[in-house]
Amino acid sequence: MSVRSKKCWLWTVLGIVVVLSRAASVSAHVGSPDVFFEGDAGPYRLFVTVRVPQVIPGVAEIEVRSASPDVRTIQFVPMRLSGAGSSLPPAPDAAQRSPQDPQFFSGSLWLMEFGALQVRVTAEGSKGKGELSVPVPAFAQRTLPMQRPLGALLLGLTAFLALGMIFIAGAAVREGNLNPDERPTPSRVLRARIVMVITAVVVAAILLLGNRWWHVEASHHQRDVDLFKSPIAETKLENGNRLVLTAKGQDPQWSQEVRLEDAIPDHGHLMHLFLIRLPGMEQMWHLHPQRTEGGRFAEDLPSMPAGKYQLFADVVDKTGFPWTLVGAIDLPEVKGRALEGDDSTWSGVPLDATTGDSTAAKLSGGGLMVWQRGKGALRADMPMNFRFEVEDKNHMPVQNLEPYMGMAGHAEFVSSDMSVFAHVHPAGSISMAALGLTRGESGMGSMSMPVGSGPLPPEVSFPYGFPKPGKYRIFVQVREGGEVETAAFDAHVE
Ligand SMILES: [Cu+2]
C-alpha cells in the first residue's frame, strides 16, 4: 500500500492527463462495471451499490440502503480480496446518512489499485455491529484526456519556472555579491552568460528526462487499462460439434498475468458459457465447458440451428477477479448431444424494434414467471431489486423451487446491441467465487451463499441496475421440480 500511495499523486495526475482511449468493452460483466450486492451484515440486511470509478486510482461512490431503520452508522474500507493486504484494513471511512431518508447512506472511497478488491462494510445500530464484504473488480475503463486549458496552464508554468531558473542562475553570478551602487564588470557578465547557457542545458535535460518518465508511466498505465479489457473468446468447431475456446487478452501480457489454468470454480463450474443467437436473441444456451490443456476450454455442443451466435464466457481467476470472454461465432447446423447436468436453453420470439416490454413469461412446464416490475419507467443507473414470482398452471405460487447451481436463481441481463452482459444472482452482480474468497473459502468447489434445505420461496430477486439506456432482454433461470426453467423478459430502459 505504501509504495502505491507514494505513487498516488502521480497516478492521479496521469489519470487526468493521458490521451483518451475508449475501451471497446471492459471485463467482468461486459459494459456493466458497477457492483450491486445484497446481503446480511450481522443482523442488518443491506443493499450495497459500488459505482466503480472510470479511472484507477479514482473515487468509487458507495451507496448503502438498509432494509430496517435500526442502522445508525455505516463505515467502509477497501482492501485486496485475497493475499497479503486482505487482512490489514486501513482506517475506515464513514458514510453520510441521508437526512431525508434515514435508511440510506452514501460516501466515497479511493480505489488505488487494479484487480480484485473488496469493500468491507460495517453497520452499527440498535442490534449491535455487523459486517459484510463486497468483492469489487477494480479496473480503469478509460484514460482521461488532458483538458486543453489545464495543458496550456501547465505549459505556461513550466516555461516560467524553466526561464526563471536560468535567469536566477545568471543574476546570481553577475550581481550576487555586488554593492548596491556597483555595476557588474565585463568578466562577470561573460561568466554569467556561460552559467546561463549551462543552466539552460541542465534545465532542458531535466525536462527531456521528465517527459520520458511521463511517457513511460503513461504507457504502463495504458498497459494496465488494456490488460483489464474483456479478453476475446477465440473459438473453433471440431468434428462438427466440439467447440474449443481460447482466451486472448487485449494486451499480449494478459495470458501470462491471468492464467486460466489456475481459474477457480464459480458456483460449481470453471466456466459459464452463454451462446445467444443473433440478431434477435430468440435462442439462448447456458453451458459449462470443461477445461482442457493450456487453459483452453471445450464443450460438446447440443443440437443448434445454423446461424450467428454471440458468446459470453464467465471465468474467475485465482485472485478472484471475474473475467467475461467475449466473441461471436458462425455455426453450421450442429447435430449434437442432449442437454445434461446444469446446462439449459431457452427459445422464444426475437427481440426487435417492434418488441414491447414484457412482465410475464410462459415456462416450458406450463407455469408462468411474473416480473413484479411495479409502475413507472425503468431508468439507467438506478439500483433496484428485480423480483420474479413463479406460478403454476393455475396461477398459484409454486412450492417446488429448488436450488439451481446452489442458488435460488440466475439472471442474465443482455442489451440488444450486445454491449452489456451481466450474470447476476440473488446476492448481486458479484462473482460468487470472489464472495467465497472474502469469507475465507479456498475457491475450490466453493458454492457460497448456501440456500436452506427444503423448498424455496416462489419468488427470486436480483439486485442490479442497468448501466445505460437501451433495449434489454433479461433471462431468469430457476429450477422447478428437477427441471431448469428459463424465462425471458424484455425491457426498455430510459
Ligand atoms: Cu449463475
Ligand 1 centre to CA of 429 (Å) is 10
pLDDT recorded at residue 451? 54
> To the nearest whole number, what is the mean pLDDT of the chain?
87
| 33-71 per-residue burial string, b: 16 or more CB within 10 A, e: under 16 | bbbbbbbebeebbbbbbbbbbbbbbbebebbbbbeeeeb
Q: Within 13 A of 170's CA, how many CA atoms are on the CB side?
A: 14
- Give the residue from 102, 107, 104 showing the smallest Cα distance to 59: 107
Q: How far is the CA of 267 from the centre of ligand 1 (A)?
A: 7
Handedness of CA 243, 350, 485, 408 (dihedral sign): positive
Give the mean model confidence (pLDDT) for residues 83-89.
75
Q: How far is the CA of 329 from the centre of ligand 1 (A)?
A: 23
Instruction: Give mean pLDDT, residues 44-55.
Output: 93
pLDDT per residue over 432-487, tens digit each? 888 888 887 654 444 444 555 567 899 999 999 999 999 999 999 999 988 999 99
If you measure from the C-alpha of residue 491 to the centroid of ligand 1, how many angstroms do you get, rounded to a whole number? 21
- Going from the Cα of 316 to the center of ligand 1, the distance in angstroms, rounded, reads 13
The reported pTM is 0.84
Q: For the chain, what percent of residues have pLDDT higher than 90?
A: 61
CB atoms within 10 A of CB 307: 15
If you measure from the C-alpha of residue 409 to the centroid of ligand 1, how many angstroms do you get, rounded to a whole number?
Answer: 7
Q: 3-class SS at 405?
A: coil
Joined together, the cell numbers standing for residue 89 give 484494513
The answer to whether 249 touches 255, Cβ cutoff 8 Å, is yes
Q: Residue 60: helix, strand or coil by DSSP? A: strand
The Å distance, Cα 123 to ligand 1 centre, comes to 28
Alpha carbon distances (Å) from 278 to 230, 281, 305, 417: 20, 5, 12, 10
Q: How far is the CA of 424 from the centre of ligand 1 (A)?
A: 7
Q: Ligand 1 center to residue 210 CA distance, Å?
A: 49
Could you give phi then psi for residue 47, rounded to 5 degrees?
-110, 115
Cα–ligand 1 centroid distance for 423 (angstroms): 6
State which amino acid sits at residue 94.
Answer: A
Compute the distance from residue 323 Cα to the ligand 1 centre, in Å: 14
* Cα 209 to middle of ligand 1, angstroms: 51
CA 31 vs. chain centroid, Å, equals 8
Q: What's the whole-number mean pLDDT along residues 234-242?
A: 90
Could you tell me which of 198, 427, 128 has the C-alpha nearest to residue 436?
Answer: 427
90 — phi, psi (to 5°)?
A: -70, 180
Dist. CA 232 → ligand 1 center (Å): 21
Tell me the CA–centroid distance for residue 12 and ligand 1, in Å: 36
Please tell me the predicted confidence (pLDDT) of residue 447.
Answer: 46
| Cα 104 to ligand 1 centre (Å) | 29
Out of 74-78, 103-107, 256-260, 326-330, pick the least confident. 256-260
- Which ranges constitute the DSSP H helices of 247-335? 254-257
Q: What's the 142 CA to ligand 1 centre distance in angstroms?
A: 28
| Distance in angstroms (rounded) separating the CA atoms of residues 106 and 275 | 38
Query: What is the whole-number distance in angstroms between the Cα of residue 54 and the centre of ligand 1?
Result: 26
**Helix, strand or coil for residue 436?**
helix
Interval between CA 201 and ligand 1 midpoint (Å):
63
- Give 129's strand partners: 124
CA of 289 to the centre of ligand 1 (A): 14
Q: Is residue 13 scored above 70 in pLDDT? A: no
What is residue 383's predicted lDDT score, i.e. its pLDDT?
A: 94
Amino acid at 358: S
